[in-house]
């Protein structure tokens, strides 16, 4: 049996999850990453995507996050999300509105840096939309 560690998923509105888990799969800014007990210390930004949490009993839960950052230590992981919701509770209309707003931001962008940032965010959001 794999070792467990404490995982907390926090959004600005509330603490969504705080429990001992065996594994968490995060949409890190540099790619998807799996966190397990005794993980090396890392702090990473989180892109919009799905966080999969696997409990000790084998149960799996998925949450949609819209960015943030994760603090990973050998004894635990805390994900501070800009916004997060259980995948079953996702508001598809709100997601579509985020995509539309990002398209408009991309059209209005004047610098190459802003264009790249909005283009990347749009890519993440459309990928997320197809995953849920």
Residue 46 CA: distances (Å) to CA of 2, 4, 22: 25, 22, 20
Per-residue pLDDT tens over the stretch 60-92: 999 989 889 999 999 999 999 998 888 888 888
DSSP per-residue string spanning 71-103 = EEETTEEEEEESSEEEGGG--HHHHHHHHHHHH
pTM, 2 dp? 0.78
pLDDT in tens, 5-27: 999 999 998 999 999 999 999 99
d(CA 79, CA 27): 11
């Amino acid at each position: 049996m794999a070792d467990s560690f404490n995982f907390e998923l926090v959004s600005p509105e509330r603490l969504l999850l705080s429990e001992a888990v065996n594994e968490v799969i995060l949409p890190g800014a540099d790619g998807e990453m799996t966190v397990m007990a005794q993980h090396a210390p890392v702090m990473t930004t989180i892109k919009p995507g799905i966080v999969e949490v696997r409990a000790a009993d084998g149960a799996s839960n998925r949450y949609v996050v819209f960015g943030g950052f994760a603090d990973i230590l050998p004894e635990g992981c805390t994900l501070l999300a800009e916004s997060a919701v259980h995948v079953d509770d996702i508001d598809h209309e709100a997601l579509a509105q985020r995509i539309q707003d990002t398209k408009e931001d991309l059209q209005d962008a004047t610098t190459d840096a802003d264009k790249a940032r909005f283009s990347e965010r749009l890519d993440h959001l459309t990928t997320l939309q197809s995953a849920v």
